[in-house]
Structure 1
Amino acid sequence: MSVLVEESVGTRRDRRIPIRISGSVSSGSILQPLNSSMIAIAIVGIAAQFGSSSGIAWVISGLYIATAVCAPIAGKLGALLGARRVYLGGLALVSLGSVVGILAPTVGWLIFARILIGIGTATQYPNAMTMIRGYAERHRAQPRSAITTLTVCSQVTVSLGPTLGGLLVGAFGWHSIMWINLPVAAFSAVLVTRFVGADSARVASVSRSRLLRSLDVAGVLLFLVLISSTMLFLLSLTTDPSWWLIPLWTVALAAFIYRERRAEVPFIDVPALTRNRALSATLARTLLTYSAFYCVYFGVPQWLQYSRGMSATQAGLTMLPVAAVGALTTLIASRTYVLHGARRTLAVGTCALLIGGLLLASVERSTAPILVLLLVAVVLGIPNGFNNIGNQNLVSSVTSVKEVGTAIGMYRTVQYIGANLAAAVLAATSGHVIDDVGLHRTGWFIAVVGTVLLVGVLISRNMGDRRKVQTRQFERTPGLSE
């Protein structure tokens, strides 16, 4: 019997999800990181057209707030209505928001367009993960290689965004970051429709009453208030802090926990999240990681334009090594995770983050040769692949197929809270214009975050090795454990 079980596990471990499946569901996931990072280059042109009013900050933050709030909801809807259906609906929303943005006559309409895009892009990643995990369970395949494909298409694209955005904005103006969404969304819709099987009849035919009960509308609304107040407070730190949001946040948090502990079908199972220390620790680690991550991707391109006098295209090309190294290290990190587990994978990523922060804090920036800047960019690309692979595989390994969509949605929520926290950090360290001194302080912040993360990774007790992770996956696999 043990031999048969060993052979079954070995077969499942070696069988990979076909690239036509993983590539299809990953294709739409590039939309969110592109739209979140290209704006760092385009914001200068947008401010020139609409004026440098306070509304310009909401062009960036509106997308983050929408994505942070909607990502867990999208994961839950995918489990109820079908992951493919929700995924395709999100692509339609992205296309609609892009058209509105292209035609936007005022900054208010542009903010509205970015919110629509944020809602639409929130659906791709959690539902792609649900489709990957569902396929892996049905066909007894390992999801790791598909998760690597998803990571390359989504997270690594963040670092490619400034380069692509610089080329587009330099050639066609800031509107080009909107119309680029249309062919990407259409291509992704064709791939998913062609290669990914239809949702099961059970989820596709869910009744409206069951949907309302299962979605936990009260819990969703309280979550909306909780996340929105969090994001708004972080945004206000860059100008005039809205301290009145703190009591609102406290009440919303208490009400949300109270509701979710007593809901028949909670939107987020708070007791289970508390018990699942590995997931809770991963989400906390993700918050710190992305706070540093977005300090790099917001701060450096703006510094290159303001302090080094580069054009949008030049600044984007200078950031290209971050994307290239990020893609390469994602593949290396996937192999590292297989051989050595999450701890060593994350240790490499956090060490690189620490070193990258120290380089930003110590290099003579405004007078440094361009080759030195490119080498710094290479180092800053390393954490991207290793941290994402380690954290996302941990989320996948400690959740079930039904839970993974909501869990990855929470992962995305934490990611964009980190993005707004980074905006607050940059405002505190650099002000409105990022000069040499501001980038120096930002580098020290990144180095401190890298140190905290490294210590946490080394002492964590909630980060099983590869064998333990595979055992948990084996125990949850229907049929194999019997």
Structure 2
Amino acid sequence: MTISALFRTSRRPAATGGGFDRRLIAPMILGSVLNPINSAMLAVALIPIGQDFGAPPSEVAWLITGLYLATAVGQPVIGRLVDSFGPRLLYLSGTALVGVAGLIGVLAPHLWVLIVSRILLGFGTSAAYPASMFLLRSESDRTGLRSPGGVLAALSISNQVVSVLGPPLGGLLIGAGGWHLIFAVNVPLSVGCLVLGWLFLPRAAALGGSLAAARSERIDVAGMALFAATLTAFMLFLMEPQLSRWWLLVLCAAFGAAFAVRELRIASPFLDLRVLAGNPPLLATYGRQFLAFITSYAFLFGFSQWLEEGRSLSPSAAGLILLPMSAAAIAVTAATGRHTEVRGKLLVGSLVQIAGCALLLLVGPQTPIGWLVVIGAVIGVPQGLNGLANQNALYAQADPTRMGSAAGLLRTFMYLGALAASAANAAFYRDGATTDGLHGLAWLLVSVAAVFLVATVADRSLRRVGRTGPAR
């Protein structure tokens, strides 16, 4: 399938006429990959960064969790602002912050400055994906586009590709000039986003119809703050889930209760809990996203760390072994991307996910490189299917007037899964990335993947999503 074929989309007659504005595709894709590429490149940089700063793994782990925390909070909050003020302002502000964060990371004199850089990266990269989903909906309204399956597939491909290309790219950059380069690369990426966004993203005045309903509502700043406090307390507990940290769960419950009371009482809530509770299919999609990315990120970080420590490979070699994941994800998403039906994708993805995680039980310090490459290729299949299917499901299930915040919340559940994966890696790798630790992690991932399969089979609403045929 060619790239141009991916962008062909089904249309029905519309008064406004015209097709999808393809000038939007470049800024949408480049902006949306900023977050996954920064997540993935770090997978092979944790050990050299820790060695450079003389920091223990417990401190270095904040480089991962700092970005996840900022992203999980920032995505739905910025998505709600996108719904109200349009994508252009938030996209340009966010991508500019990415460049600033990259410079801070390059010049960081010690680990905690580097962690601040990652937190800023998390907030900066939180604007592009909600902005892209908002633009897809507004273009659908303008053109009468029945389903932008090709563009959704392109977004999914780009995110999946950079997620698995991130480790080899990170390894090459580290080999060329040290870990500082994985932060420096954000500067040209930021400049590219700013140029494309300034040239092609529509101004708010051109989106009057799409913004009218949201702009008539007051921004629920207090609700956003309570949401952020609830999520922060919960994620801090997930980082080290121990009984001695029970007070974080108490804080989470207190902030969460205050958040729920406020959102149920005001006319224009940040998250309309009544509407959300009345949309079980969308809640199920968020749950599947959480489960899918526990396995995805635990494998990405756990397997790559084991390749370096347990298998004694260099960061560059570990990154190259993960390249087949990229090839598999590209092939699968390109083959299925224009078809908006999701249930079949999720069933196949969940079954292959179980098989891929089970294969980790068979590896050891003497496992041939070819076998490790095969495992990466198998795991690439569900990475290509599950993310795309959940994205298509969200597009069909979410309230069109709150597409930005709904898309942002999907990313929140993605990073909640990533943070749970980080906690799992820390738990099983207390004595380093040993083979026994990898096998223990594999049993957990097989269990999570099995729950994902059960959740998919039980969700009958998936039968109705995308059953109108392929988007051409």
- Per the TM superposition, whether the score is higher than 0.5 is yes
Gaps of 5+ in 1: 1-7, 474-482
Per the alignment, residue 368 of structure 1 pairs with: 367
Q: Distance in 2 between matches of 1:242 and 1:394?
A: 36
Of the three residues 230, 247, 252, the one matched with 1:249 is 252
Q: CA RMSD in A?
A: 2.4
Aligned partner of residue 440 in structure 2, secondary structure: helix
Q: Contact 2:12–2:144 (CA<8 Å) still a contact in 1?
A: no
**Cα drift, residue 199 of structure 1:** 2.4
> Structure 1: how far apart are the matches of 2:41 and 2:300?
10
What does residue 162 of structure 1 align with? 167
Question: Given the superposition, is the C-alpha separation of residues 380 and 258 from structure 1 closer, same or farther in structure 2, using an over 3 Å criterion?
Answer: same
Post-superposition Cα deviations, 1:330-375, rounded to whole Å, max 9, x if no partner, equal 112314x34xx211111111111011011112x2322111111101
How do residues 148-227 of structure 1 correspond to structure 2 at under 5 angstroms? 148-200=153-205, 214-227=218-231
User: How much has 1:17 moved relative to structure 2?
Assistant: 3.0
Aligned to 1:110: 114
Report what 1:331 is aligned to: 334
Quick one: structure 1 residues 196 and 187, their matched pair in 2 at CA, closer, same or farther if it must change by over 3 Å?
same
Q: Amino acid of the residue matched to residue 358 of structure 2?
A: L
Partner of 1:4: none
- TM-score computed with the length of structure 2 as normaliser: 0.91
Deviations 1:408-454 (A, max 9, x none): 11111111111110111122233251111111122222211222111
How big is each residue's C-alpha offset from its partner over 1:187-235, in whole Å with a ceiling of 9 and x where there is no partner?
A: 122222223322226769x99xx97962201100110111101110011
Q: Distance in 1 between matches of 2:334 and 2:93?
A: 30
Check conservation: 1:151, 1:330, Cα contact below 8 A: yes
The structure 2 residue matched to 1:96, chosen from 96, 100, 119, is 100
Equivalent in the alignment of 2:51: 48
1:399 is displaced (CA, Å) by: 1.7
Displaced runs of 4 or more, over 4 A? 8-12, 201-204, 210-213, 466-470
Correspondence 1:322-361 to 2 at 5 A: 322-335=325-338, 337-338=339-340, 341-361=341-361
Q: State the Cα deviation string for residues 302-339 of structure 1 (Å, max 9, x = none).
A: 0000011111100000111112211221112314x34x
Q: For the residues of structure 1 that align with 2:372 and 2:467, how far apart are their CA atoms?
A: 41
Determine which of 312, 317, 323 is the counterpart of 1:314: 317
CA contact 1:233–1:241 (8 Å) conserved in 2: no
Instruction: Give the equivalent residue in structure 1 for 2:78.
Output: 74
Q: CA deviation at 1:140?
A: 1.4
- Is the 1:281–1:462 Cα contact (8 Å) retained in structure 2? no
Which one-letter code corresponds to 1:327 in the other structure? I
Describe the shift of the 1:155–1:261 C-alpha distance in structure 2 as closer, same or farther (beyond 3 A).
Answer: farther
1:261 corresponds in structure 2 to 264
- SS state of the match for residue 364, structure 2? coil
Identity of aligned residues (%): 36
Q: Which amino acid aligns with 1:273?
A: L
Counting matched residue pairs gives 455
Counterpart residue type for residue 436 of structure 2: V
In structure 2, the residue matched to 1:147 is 152
1:412 corresponds to which residue?
A: 411
Separation in structure 1 between the aligned mates of residue 158 and residue 444 of structure 2, nearest angstrom: 28
Give distance in 2, aligned partners of 1:364 and 1:177.
Answer: 30
Per-residue CA deviations over 1:237-289 (Å, capped at 9, x if unaligned) read 3x885111111111111111111111211000111111111100000111111
Asked which structure has the greater RCO (Cα within 8 Å, sep 6+), the reply is 2
